């Protein structure tokens, strides 16, 4: 196994129990929109939770009406937590977790109706990951994802600090999704839809831990809508939601 993957696994094994303890990402407009898309597309469908981590998104997707959700990840500690989470929710028959390399997906061609990416791309080599995603997605299927976008100078500075403090690996810090990566995605997917979020509201994320934080977030997300109506500002969004289809 490549050294970069060993480092990523070690990092996420250590962080496995932390994800989902803080304010829920589903409070954010980006994830609310992504979940709306998932609910519209996953009814009675076979869904892949791509880089599922500790199952923070797998369980909600299963509850949306998916026929079955399969989560894959290389972090065994994350998968153990994911399995426990699903069992507590009584979803054992609708959810399956497998240790698997997201760059070498061990499923047949045209297998999944829907694939969800909840922020896994930065841990991967997209030149290896994107063709695999296209391969296992059915021709009429959809890859729905939420990713951090890598052009905002403020969030890029924070990312560098996270690397120094061990909150993010060097590989992940240097491989945040950018416009050039979306161009690569067009090689493998015929239709690409991009939606932009959090031009300023990312500043309110830490405030979700305090009373009134959600109200502040909603107000700043309203400002986002105004700013992101200007095409030249879209590049500086903190998050994007995308739909790739063949």
pLDDT of 20 > 80? The answer is no
Domain count of the chain? 1
| 179-188 and 126-136 helices, crossing angle to 10° | 40
Mean pLDDT, residues 160-172 = 88
The more confident residue out of 176 and 25 is 176
| pLDDT tens-digit map of 23-34 | 578 889 999 999
Can you give the residue range of the structural domain that contains 117?
3-199+231-245
Residue for token digits 């989560």? 71
Residue 95 lies in a domain: yes
Q: Give the confidence band of 21 by pLDDT, cuts at 50, 70, 90.
A: low
Residue 223 lies in a domain: no
The more confident residue out of 71 and 25 is 71
Q: Give the confidence band of 18 by pLDDT, cuts at 50, 70, 90.
A: confident
Look up the CATH number of the domain holding residue 173. Answer: 3.40.50.150
| pLDDT tens-digit map of 119-164 | 999 999 999 999 999 999 999 999 999 999 999 999 998 888 888 8
Residue 190 lies in a domain: yes
Residue 182 lies in a domain: yes
Residue 121 lies in a domain: yes
Q: What is the phi/psi pair of residue 142, to 5°?
A: -140, 135
**What percentage of the chain has pLDDT greater than the value 70?**
98
Q: What is the pLDDT of residue 165?
A: 86
Q: What is the pLDDT of residue 22?
A: 52
pLDDT of 35 > 80? The answer is yes
Sheet strands side by side (includes 112-117): 95-99, 68-73, 46-50, 112-117, 137-148, 239-245, 191-197
Check: CB of residue 47 under 8 Å from CB of residue 70.
yes
Residue 210 lies in a domain: no
In angstroms, the CA 170 to CA 163 distance is 6
| pLDDT tens-digit map of 91-111 | 989 999 999 999 999 999 999
**What percentage of the chain has pLDDT greater than the value 90?**
85
pLDDT of 63 > 70? The answer is yes
Mean pLDDT, residues 190-209 = 95
- Select, from the ranges 16-30, 112-126, 205-219, the one with the highest average predicted confidence (pLDDT): 112-126
Q: How many CA atoms lie within 13 A of 93 on its CB side?
A: 2
Residue 212 lies in a domain: no
Chain-centre distance for alpha carbon 167: 17
| 3-15 and 76-88 helices, crossing angle to 10° | 40
Residue 218 lies in a domain: no
Mean pLDDT, residues 66-80 = 97
Name residues whose C-beta falls within 8 Å of residue 123's C-beta, 6 or more positions apart in sequence: 8, 12, 51, 102, 169, 171, 172, 175
């Amino acid at each position: 196994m490549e050294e970069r993957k060993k480092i990523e696994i070690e990092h996420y094994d250590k962080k496995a129990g932390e994800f989902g303890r803080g304010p829920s990402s589903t409070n954010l407009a980006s994830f609310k929109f992504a979940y709306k898309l998932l609910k519209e597309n996953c009814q009675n469908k076979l869904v892949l939770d791509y880089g599922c981590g500790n199952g923070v998104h797998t369980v909600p997707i299963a509850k949306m009406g998916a026929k079955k959700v399969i989560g894959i990840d290389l972090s065994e500690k994350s998968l153990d937590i994911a399995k426990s989470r699903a069992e507590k929710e009584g979803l054992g028959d609708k959810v399956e977790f497998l240790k698997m390399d997201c760059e070498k997906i061990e499923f047949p061609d045209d297998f999944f109706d829907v694939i969800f990416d909840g922020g896994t791309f930065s841990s991967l080599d997209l030149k290896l990951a994107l063709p695999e995603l296209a391969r296992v997605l059915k021709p009429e299927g959809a890859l729905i994802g939420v990713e951090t976008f890598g052009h905002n100078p403020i969030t890029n500075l924070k990312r560098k600090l996270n690397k120094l403090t061990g909150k993010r690996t060097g590989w992940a810090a240097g491989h945040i999704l950018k416009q050039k990566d979306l161009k690569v995605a067009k090689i493998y997917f015929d239709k690409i839809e991009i939606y932009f979020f959090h031009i300023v509201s990312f500043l309110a994320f830490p405030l979700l831990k305090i009373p009134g934080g959600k109200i502040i977030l909603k107000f700043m997300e309203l400002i986002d809508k105004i700013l992101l109506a200007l095409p030249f500002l879209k590049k500086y969004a903190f998050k994007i939601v995308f739909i790739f289809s063949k």
